[in-house]
Structure 1
Amino acid sequence: MQTIYKMFEHLHWANEQILAVLQNSEDKMNEEKRLFSHILLTEEVWLNRIIGLENQASLIWTELGIEECSKQINQNKQKYEQFFASLPDQHADKLITYRNSTGQEFTTSIRDILTHIALHGHYHRGQINQKLRLDGFEPVGTDFITFVR
């Protein structure tokens, strides 16, 4: 679980790096903001699935404003820290049954869900960086190695 904890520390750091760029050029980065909103809303949806709360998974592509993104980052970080503090390592392999955004039912271990959450953001931050470059902006350094240095 230590690796997963570290991945989540990186996830929160990387989200803050992306937020900083979006705050400086919000009006020019609609697609970037949409992708970033998706990352943040999906983090919330997955945690709610793990802890058994109802979700509005259909809203994972809602575009948030920059202030809402900032609040969502802080909220996600706080909720995940609380979750990790209450999760005994031996419960990481507990199976969770949930429905995805199309209503299909799946059963997956907490460990695998947490790994997915951490990796999901990498994928979309890569898309954001590609879009930044195409729009004439410098991509944001969010690599894990940059974080640990």
Structure 2
Amino acid sequence: MKKLTLQFFDYHSWANKQLIEHLSKLPKEIIHKEVNSVFPSISQTFAHMYVVDELWFLRISGKSVNSIEAKPFITTQEMNDAFTYLHNEMLEFLNLIDDLEQPVIYTNTKGEHFRNSIREIIYHIVNHGTYHRGNIAAMIRQLGYQGVSTDYIYYLRDTNKE
């Protein structure tokens, strides 16, 4: 179970990298163009994704935090660097944990108390990222460009983990 959970997290990191790499090949201003979506720009969507990953990492690592302010990225290189650093830290931490079923007790942004296992939180992080990568794919198309697939099956094929 731990191996599969870490593989899902690795997929999340891979998918973000795929999307950021694709964006780096498009006109650089695309990440700041305003679109009608969940967030007003690709940059702000990635900033939200980053801050949520960071928030959950702080929670699973035992730090008390209710919210973190998102700061939009200026360049795709900033996005790549930030996610690479954070995801490496998270993976390093997760590899040290023997039991991903251990509970995390936390307070959400509304002041409500919850309890979830580390495994459940990792699944949430991955699912949340998938949702917003879908938003970004739609934004890219709305702006007149082709997207890139970040489906799990492509991750498996790319990393030879079938």
Q: Which residue number in structure 1 is paired with residue 97 of structure 2? A: 87
Does the CA-based 8 Å contact 2:140-2:146 persist in structure 1?
A: yes
1:81, CA displacement in angstroms?
1.9
Q: Percent identity?
A: 27
Q: Which residue number in structure 1 is paired with residue 135 of structure 2? A: 127
Q: In structure 2, how many angstroms separate the alpha carbons of the residues matched to 1:15 and 1:45?
A: 17
1:28, CA displacement in angstroms?
2.1
Larger deviation: 64-73 or 32-41? 64-73
Does the CA-based 8 Å contact 1:22-1:33 persist in structure 2?
A: no
1:86, CA displacement in angstroms?
0.6
The SS at the match of 2:115 is: strand
1:38-77 equivalence runs, <5 A = 38-55=48-65, 57-59=67-69, 61-66=70-75, 67-77=77-87
Distance change >3 Å, CA 102–CA 65, structure 1 → 2: farther
TM-score, normalised to structure 1, is 0.88
1:1-149 equivalence runs, <5 A = 1-24=2-25, 25-30=27-32, 31-55=41-65, 57-59=67-69, 61-66=70-75, 67-88=77-98, 91-149=99-157
Distance change >3 Å, CA 70–CA 111, structure 1 → 2: same
The SS at the match of 1:112 is: helix
Larger deviation: 122-131 or 40-49? 40-49
TM-score, normalised to structure 2, is 0.82
Q: For 1:101-132, what per-residue CA distance to the aligned partner results, in whole angstroms no more than 9, with x for missing partners?
A: 23322111111111101111000000000111
Q: Which runs of 5+ in 2 are unaligned?
A: 33-40, 158-162
Q: Number of paired residues?
A: 146
1:14, CA displacement in angstroms?
0.8
Greater helix share, structure number: 1
Q: In structure 1, how many angstroms separate the alpha carbons of the residues matched to 2:109 and 2:81?
A: 23
Q: In structure 2, how many angstroms separate the alpha carbons of the residues matched to 1:38 and 1:121?
A: 10
For the aligned residues, what is the CA RMSD? 1.6
1:53, CA displacement in angstroms?
1.8
